[in-house]
Structure 1
Amino acid sequence: MSVQRRAIAAARRGRERAKMLMIAECTIKRPTGNTYDPALGHEVATYGTIYTGKCGYEVDSTQPAEFVLAATEFTVTNALVKLPIGSGAMQGDLVEITSSQLDLPRPGTKAKLIELAEGTHRTAERWRAVSV
């Protein structure tokens, strides 16, 4: 077996192992447009589901950033979201944790995908994300 074939086989095994370590379930949604909500009196975003399935979620070791915008206090936490290769996720998509085999991440945790770590030998899609 050639070196290239061994590398491809190793990457496939790594992807399966990475998927086994994804012990949370999540849904990824992408904005599709806006619709008027008469109860609120303004337009609200609409979303389409892109992916539902296994994922991993880790909060970055740094402290959350707190700031005030338009008299509202926000706390932003940096996170790493891991998805299987080929999930279809894109920058700007929203991730919501729907279940987890451990205590954390809690269902209902939401984040926005910011940047994908690229590479030829990736075993998972690793997205830098911020809490929403």
Structure 2
Amino acid sequence: MEDERYPIVILYNKIPAGFFVFHGWEGVKAYSINKDAILLRTYSVNVSFQGKGIAKNSIKLLPSFVKEHFPHKNEIILAVNHNNKIAQHVYQRGGIKDKGIRVMGRKGELFILHMEL
């Protein structure tokens, strides 16, 4: 179902500082055959909040958040542009792994990253 999109706001001292969307199977299937995975998409932290550890800390909180709100999911998947080295670094520091899977996106090659739960 296309309506399996769940927008999430990242708060910093009770102020909105970032945003992302979890997307169910309709989003996952372009990158994985795991029907128990959930796709993390459109992850961003507002420029004025960058450099405060918000991205790293919010990514480290993802497993417990998913286990609480999506208990049937066993993996988080995300796609990141191969040119976006900063995002790749932040995701990997947060525990998201690169298993070497690549796909072509609208703007070029995407790295498919994984976090097992």
TM range (shorter): under 0.3
Higher relative contact order (CA 8 A, sep 6+): 1
- Structure with the bigger percentage of strand: 1
- Structure with the bigger percentage of helix: 2
When normalised by structure 2's length, the TM-score is 0.26
When normalised by structure 1's length, the TM-score is 0.24
